[in-house]
Amino acid sequence: MNNNALVKIAENVDLREGTEGVKAFFRVVYQNQGISTKETAKKLKMPIPIVAAIKQEAIKEDLIEAGATLRLSELGLTFCQEELGLELHQTRVCSNCEGVKYVIPQEFSKIIDKFIDIIKERPGVDVTVDQAHATPETSFRRALLALEKGLLFNKKIAFIGDDDYISIAIILLWQELYGAGGPELVVFDIDKRILKHIEETAKSLGYVIKTVCYDVRGCLPEEHLADFDVIFTDPPYTIPGADVFLLRASQLLKSKIGLNVIFSFGQKPPKESYQLQNKILEKGFCIEEIITGFNEYLGAAILGNVGQLMVLSKATDKMEKVQEIMSEIYTHQK
């Protein structure tokens, strides 16, 4: 057995990460014998179907045992040790936050429960606009991140799409900590069902959220241009989709250096990550922080159920030209 097995598996799966992706697969299995396919996908930041395909190819090569979980065969163990040079090691990832940096304190358990009750009544996903609901904990972690970075105090915040109800999570967090007041929140979304439910929910909490029915491919209403301090967005996980949402974020932000966009996106292989980061720079942003695996999603197996979160910072004071976009931005249009 030699490294040709890596090439064969990568080619048969048509793996965009190539042999390095296959090596990473074996590294995770070697370190975590008996791990599930879903958990392996989470660790690798790969879609579950791709990891399942790698598993099947590895079984054909007699490197992985057939079964519900992932275990190396004797040949696979020898391959990992002698060909890949792997050694067991103690994980250095924080056991409390599992590498995502933000932990929801126990004292917030009641408002998490309240948030969960609220989103149970949320409209179902509309896959035609790439909705994939984040877990309640993910939405709340985004609110905590904004709090820790000082992005909630005396701020006007826009959400370009909010089927994850981050706006509601922010209200609940603010009310728990400070009572009345809070940031001004405006939600832009193409889904009228989401907007209606967010408005009604905010009202029931004694809060007003302004909503705007808006398709990002069209021009923004002029009164909202250069009007916000912070943007939250979780665009379709295509490069054209990211490009359009970044454009709208740059147009919504005030003309001040250093304003932030909390940008969620799927984990991508190197080539697409390079393209994405170029789009970020082209739109006048720099990347302050990337937290891989920060976002977890309900039933989004094609995404590996996880995604990254980036904190972007406005690096130029130029105003992007307002324009309509004809690009096909959703995954079903690819």
Q: What are the pLDDT digits (tens) for 309-318?
A: 999 999 988 7
What mean pLDDT is predicted for residues 252-266?
94
pTM of the model: 0.81
Domain boundaries, the chain: 4-83, 106-333
Architecture of the domain made up of 106-333: 3-Layer(aba) Sandwich (3.40)
Query: 4-83 belongs to which CATH class?
Result: mainly alpha
Nearest to 272 by CA among 300, 232, 242: 242
Say how far residue 273 (Cα) sits from the centre of its chain: 13
> Pseudo-torsion of CA 108, 109, 111, 117, nearest 10°?
160
Determine contact, residues 253/245, Cβ cutoff 8 Å.
Answer: no
Q: Answer yes or no: is pLDDT of 228 > 80.
A: yes
Q: What is the mean pLDDT of residues 184-201?
A: 96
User: In this predicted structure, which of 39-53, 233-247, 291-305 has the lowest mean pLDDT?
Assistant: 291-305
Taking alpha carbons only, the member of 69, 89, 73 closest to residue 27 is 89
The predicted pLDDT at position 303 comes to 53
pLDDT above 70: residue 301 = no
- pLDDT confidence of residue 275: 96
